[in-house]
Amino acid sequence: MTILVFAEKTSTLIELCNGARQLGDRVEAIVIGEAQGGFADKVWHIPAQADAMFEDYTETIAALVEKVKPSFLLVEPTKRCKLVSGRLAAMLGASVITDASELTSAGEAKHMVYGGAAVRKEKAVTATAIVTVGSGVFADSEPVTLESEVETVAFVAPAFTIKVVSKEQKPKTSADLNKSKRVVGIGRGLAAQEDLDMIKDFAASIGAEVGCSRPIADGEGWMPKELYIGVTGLMLSPDIYVALGISGQIQHVVGINQSKVVIAVNKDKNAPIFKYADYGIVGDLYKVVPALTEHFNKVLV
């Protein structure tokens, strides 16, 4: 069984290739731009084209899928990769399963539906299934180093191209919550943006990265949208997740339900987050967080 893998980021491409070995005996990867290998049996190299957008490679990938005929095309679940996946499905008449949390060699996949209220098991009915794999699903896969065969693929010009009208620099963040073992999430319980320094001090004391609920990023604009956690944002699987001032609506909980341990701090004892937490502290985060920071700074010195 051949598994084909495609991703925007090299780190995710390698993770998906390592995980793909649980599903098939041959793993092949699609690489756009500089040819690289060592993580797949074969690398299909698509040379970068001048002025081409990421989406302009869709036709080339479609031709490659028709040639390789893989059982699965595993795709990184970024917005751009999902757009390409949808177009590939339409071109190839292939089944698509999005944000799979589990995947078997028999073609069965599990993923959340109804805003995270339920988990559905699906099975592709086409020869090739396109599957976007949720973050962390293959994080524990054993790394494999191979001498990859590399073959260059001819670029197929798209019938319709995308033109860049303007560009705007987004706020930069060095945090990669998908890779973080410890994550601190902040919600509406935070009264002011300047109080984020208090949260960051606490996160630093336990070696964690900081994320947020959607209102903090989308509504208040206090943090980059790339850091909000939930059904339309990041889906995390850290060892420890600390929810500070987060009520615990299902849209947010969906993004943290793969966490090994959830700790919640909220002044409302009836907050829904306590139903999902392994440990809970009922209290004002403005009193609890500084106390915890002081404690961990002493303990970890």
Name residues of the chain where pLDDT drops below 70.
115-116, 135, 170-174, 300-301
Most distant pair of Cα atoms in the chain: their distance: 62
The structural domains of the chain, with segments of one domain joined by +, span 2-152, 177-299
The pLDDT of residue 144 is 76
Q: According to the annotation, is 240 in a ligand binding site?
A: no
Residue 258 annotated in ligand binding: no
**Distance between CA atoms of residues 72 and 65, nearest Å:** 10
Which CATH code is given to the segment(s) 2-152?
Answer: 3.40.50.620
pTM here is: 0.73
Task: Report pLDDT for 270.
Answer: 95
pLDDT of residue 134: 75
Query: What local confidence, expressed as pLDDT, does residue 184 receive?
Result: 97
CA distance to 22, 79, 80, 226, per residue, from 177 (Å):
25, 17, 19, 9
Per-residue pLDDT tens for 193-241? 999 999 999 999 999 999 999 999 988 999 998 899 988 788 888 999 9
Residue 214, annotated ligand binder? yes
Is 250 among the annotated ligand-binding positions?
Answer: yes
Q: Comparing C-alpha atoms, which of 77, 66, 97, 61 is closest to residue 7?
A: 77
What is the H or E stretch that residue 222 is in? none
Torsion over CA of 43, 48, 49 and 50, rounded to 10 degrees? 180
Q: Do β-strands 118-123 and 108-113 pair in parallel, antiparallel, or remain unpaired?
A: antiparallel
Name the packing angle between helices 79-92 and 58-68 (round to 10°): 60
Q: From CA 160, how far away is CA 6, in angstroms rounded?
A: 22
Q: How many Å is the Cα radius of gyration of the chain?
A: 21
Q: Is 51 exposed, middle or buried (0-12, 13-18, 19+ CB in 10 A)?
A: exposed
Residue 173 confidence (pLDDT): 64
- Taking only the tens place, the pLDDT of each residue in 64-95 is 999 999 999 999 988 899 999 999 999 999 99
Fold observed for domain 177-299:
Rossmann fold (3.40.50)
Q: Give the per-residue pLDDT at 257.
A: 85
247 assigned ligand-binding residue:
yes
Residue 263 marked ligand-binding: no
49 annotated as a binding-site residue: no
Note the pLDDT of residue 174.
Answer: 64
- Does the annotation place 188 within a ligand binding site? yes
Q: Which of 105, 139, 103, 96 is nearest to 121 (CA)?
A: 103
Separation of CA 269 from chain center: 31
294: Cβ contacts below 8 Å, ≥ 6 apart: none
Q: Identify the DSSP state of 66.
A: H
- The answer to whether 205 is a known ligand-binding residue is no
pLDDT of residue 82: 93
